[in-house]
């Protein structure tokens, strides 16, 4: 447990849950004054990865690349990420199919707004995700496989046949459950797709 006046321990507690990354506000909340952040970057303690986002340098490089950076980039006023990793990127994290997307696919709420330019390495999708359609994997908020498959099928109806073997594999591995499939069959936008993917 972090001591009350131990900024390093407080920051480590946050960063370790976020693959080594943290935001400016999280650094301040841990006890690091805003004007000391450039010093920690110059000293090599922190690496600035994006505007307002840092990584503790001595922690191992995350195996998921900068996916956590883009989740933190999507954060709202409460500092909580609004995005979920989705589509091909979500399926690649579950090691389903042969997906290896060059860009990170994120799904954000329809009302999501950002003043900064969309990163070149990100593809943004807008949709309402139900709590049961997302999960946490290695600290990342990720769409569950059935939701990711439905999103791909919505984007390309001709791909349903190619996605069926992936859906079968996910079901075999317990990554798609019967209650989950039943719940998505109740939604107008996904009912037909779930039936097509899981005949």
Average pLDDT for the chain: 92
Order of all β-strands in the sheet with 21-23: 21-23, 53-56, 46-50
The whole-number pLDDT of residue 151 equals 96
Tens-place pLDDT, residues 20-70:
999 999 999 999 999 999 999 999 999 999 989 999 999 988 888 889 999
Task: Number of helices (H) and strands (E) in the chain: give both, helices first.
Answer: 9, 8
What global pTM score does this model have? 0.89
What are 65's two structure tokens? 């690349």
For helices 145-155 and 178-185, what crossing angle results, to 10°?
Answer: 40
Give me the residue spans of the domains in the chain.
Answer: 7-56, 67-197
The whole-number pLDDT of residue 4 equals 56
What are 17's two structure tokens? 């849950």
The whole-number pLDDT of residue 157 equals 86
The span from the CA of 65 to the CA of 149, in Å, is: 22
According to DSSP, the residues that pair with 23 across neighbouring strands are 53
E strand intervals along 11-156: 21-23, 46-50, 53-56, 84-85, 104-108, 122-126, 134-137, 140-143
Tens-place pLDDT, residues 100-143:
899 999 999 999 988 778 889 999 999 999 999 999 998 899 99
């Amino acid at each position: 447990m972090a001591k009350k006046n131990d900024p390093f321990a407080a920051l480590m507690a946050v960063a370790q849950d976020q693959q080594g990354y943290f935001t400016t506000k999280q650094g301040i909340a841990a006890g690091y004054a805003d004007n000391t952040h450039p010093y920690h970057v110059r000293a090599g303690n922190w690496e600035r990865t994006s505007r307002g986002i840092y990584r503790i340098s001595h922690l191992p490089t995350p195996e998921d690349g900068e996916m956590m950076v883009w989740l933190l980039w999507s954060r709202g006023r409460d500092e909580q990420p609004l995005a979920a990793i989705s589509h091909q990127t979500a399926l690649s994290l579950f090691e389903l199919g042969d997906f290896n997307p060059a860009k990170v696919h994120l799904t954000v709420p329809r009302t999501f707004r950002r003043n900064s330019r969309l990163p070149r390495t990100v593809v943004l999708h807008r949709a309402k995700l139900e709590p049961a359609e997302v999960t946490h994997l290695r600290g990342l908020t990720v769409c569950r496989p059935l939701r990711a498959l439905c999103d791909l099928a919505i984007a390309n109806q001709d791909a349903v046949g190619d996605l069926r073997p992936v859906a079968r594999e996910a079901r075999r591995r317990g990554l798609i459950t019967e209650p989950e499939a039943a719940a998505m069959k109740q939604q107008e936008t996904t009912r037909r797709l779930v039936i097509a993917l899981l005949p």
